[in-house]
Amino acid sequence: MALSGVSAISFDLDDTLWPFRTVVERAEATLHSWLLEQAPKVAALLSTPQALGRLRDDYERSQPGLAGDFRALRIGSIRLALEMSSEDVSLTDEAYRIFVAARHEVQFYDDVMPALQWLSARFPLIAVTNGNADLRMTGGSEFLRLTLSASSLGIAKPAAGIFHAAARAAGVAPAEMLHVGDDYDLDVVGALDAGLQAAWLRRDEHNVAVPSQPIAQGRHLVINDLSMLCLAIGGPDKL
């Protein structure tokens, strides 16, 4: 697919600019160690860092009204762990701060910073995420005009509203905006249905989420890294 009249670009964050699973696993390991030190009785409930993730997932299933509110889900699961272990629940807020700090220690993919630097000199860039990453904490905020999150807007991908908000923030019509993301259903289909152009970022062919609907061939760009995106827009072979 050839891009046409792109005047602004929006980016997903997790698994687009950095690998998400390794970040969360490291953050949960950091939180687990802190909890064992500050609230040692949680060891009976949370024998491993992985148990934190399972407890958080169980809590989400028990609280359907919190779906998509990652902050509330993580805080709620930490509080639950402390309550179930007869530990001091007032530790919840500090425990969450420990987790958030570790969650933002991301490792950008090698192509990201050179691409963002090149693109930001030519286009307004907007982050559009269903997650809770803060580019002011991860780094990279100097290249993006704004971060739009599902929690701040009350609208999550693939709903058109969050993409339209990105286009308004960039000062362009939806058709002039290109959205880049790794999730076919949320990023590609959502953007196309909202009237944007879309680029599907498939970094690892063996680790791509299986789309829930047939792939619309020819309606979106397919790239393996952001250097390919720059090249498609008219950039150099190497950044």
CB 108 within 8 A of CB 140: yes
CA atoms within 13 A on the CB side of 167: 19
Task: State the pLDDT confidence band at 214, using cuts at 50, 70 and 90.
Answer: low
Using CA atoms, how far apart are residues 231 and 108, in angstroms rounded to an integer? Answer: 20
CB 186 within 8 A of CB 175: no
What is the model's pLDDT at position 97? 97
Which region among 25-29, 96-100, 120-124, 211-215 has the lowest average model confidence (pLDDT)? 211-215
Domains of the chain: 8-18+107-233 (3.40.50.1000), 21-103 (1.20.120.1600)
Q: Over the stretch 153-198, which tens digit does the pLDDT of each residue have?
A: 889 999 999 999 999 999 999 999 999 999 999 999 999 999 999 9
Between the alpha carbon of residue 54 and those of residues 33, 126, 228, the distances in Å are 16, 32, 37
pTM for the model stands at 0.89
